[in-house]
């Protein structure tokens, strides 16, 4: 069995709500039809996982039109509660919002998730992905998910330590993380990562 296990974290394509700067954690926004997506080698992945929100499901369908896709609801973006669908301009005079902007890792949006709750959920969802990829034939999987989810996982698993906001994760692009199988079983940092750049506008 190959000692290497690779999981690509792929951010969904852009939505109209993304373009206007709205907070859309659990809001089920649609993928923009003209969204640019990185080109991926369809045949290299054993398993294709996706957040169950439409912008991720539609990205996965565009990338892998003829493949089985596995929804993982735990890998949704953070829940913004009462701020869902609103922009900075809508909220800039809200005192609670200003407090959250200053300290988003300890203050939660009203009716939303705290960062700790979000992280616990993501770790649980990613654990289920890891278990399935490790047991798959060539141990390669892809997860189509959200910017916050990917930043969280990179903060935990990337070989070079960076803070949450230091990670730049453009819409429609991905990062492949590679581990030795036993290291991944032990929940250790990956040995290498490689960006999947945007190379084409895929509309089919």
Please name each of the domains of the chain with its CATH number: 4-196 (3.40.50.1240)
**In Å, what is the CA distance from 190 to each residue of 13, 147, 179, 182?**
25, 19, 5, 11
Laid out side by side, the sheet with 192-196 consists of: 70-71, 47-50, 140-145, 4-11, 174-180, 192-196
Tell which residue, 65, 71, 53, 67, has the closest CA to residue 15.
53
Q: Tens place of pLDDT for every residue, the chain, 204 residues?
A: 558 999 999 999 999 999 999 999 999 999 999 999 998 998 999 999 999 999 999 999 999 999 999 999 999 999 999 999 999 999 999 999 999 999 999 999 999 999 999 999 999 999 999 999 999 999 999 999 999 999 999 999 999 999 999 999 999 999 999 999 999 999 999 999 999 865 544 443
- CB count within 10 Å of CB 92 equals 10
> Encoding tokens for residue 115?
């960062």
Query: What is the crossing angle of helices 115-134 and 147-157, to 10°?
Result: 70
Question: What is the residue whose two structure tokens read 């509309």?
Answer: 203
Beta strands 174-180 and 192-196, pairing class: antiparallel
Alpha helices in 3-134 (DSSP H): 16-19, 54-63, 88-91, 95-102, 115-134
Which alpha helices (DSSP H) does the chain contain, by range?
16-19, 54-63, 88-91, 95-102, 115-134, 147-157, 181-185
What is the pTM (predicted TM-score) of this model?
Answer: 0.94
pLDDT at 200: 46
């Amino acid at each position: 069995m190959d000692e290497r296990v690779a999981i690509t974290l792929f951010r969904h394509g852009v939505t109209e709500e993304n373009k206007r700067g709205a907070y859309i954690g659990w809001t089920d926004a649609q993928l923009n039809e003209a969204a640019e997506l990185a080109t991926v080698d369809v045949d290299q992945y054993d398993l294709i996982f996706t957040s169950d929100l439409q912008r991720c499901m539609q990205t996965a369908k565009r990338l892998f039109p003829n493949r089985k896709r596995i929804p993982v609801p735990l890998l949704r973006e953070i829940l913004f509660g009462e701020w869902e669908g609103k922009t900075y301009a809508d909220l800039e005079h809200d005192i609670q919002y200003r407090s959250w902007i200053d300290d988003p890792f300890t203050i939660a949006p009203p009716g939303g998730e705290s960062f700790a709750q979000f992280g616990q959920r993501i770790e649980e969802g990613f654990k289920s992905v890891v278990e399935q990829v490790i047991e798959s034939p060539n141990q390669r999987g892809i997860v189509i998910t959200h910017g916050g989810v990917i930043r969280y996982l990179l903060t935990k698993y990337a070989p070079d330590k960076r803070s949450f906001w230091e990670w730049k994760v453009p819409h429609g692009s991905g990062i492949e993380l590679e581990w030795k199988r036993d290291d991944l079983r032990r929940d250790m940092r990956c040995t290498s990562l490689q960006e999947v750049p945007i190379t084409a506008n895929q509309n089919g």
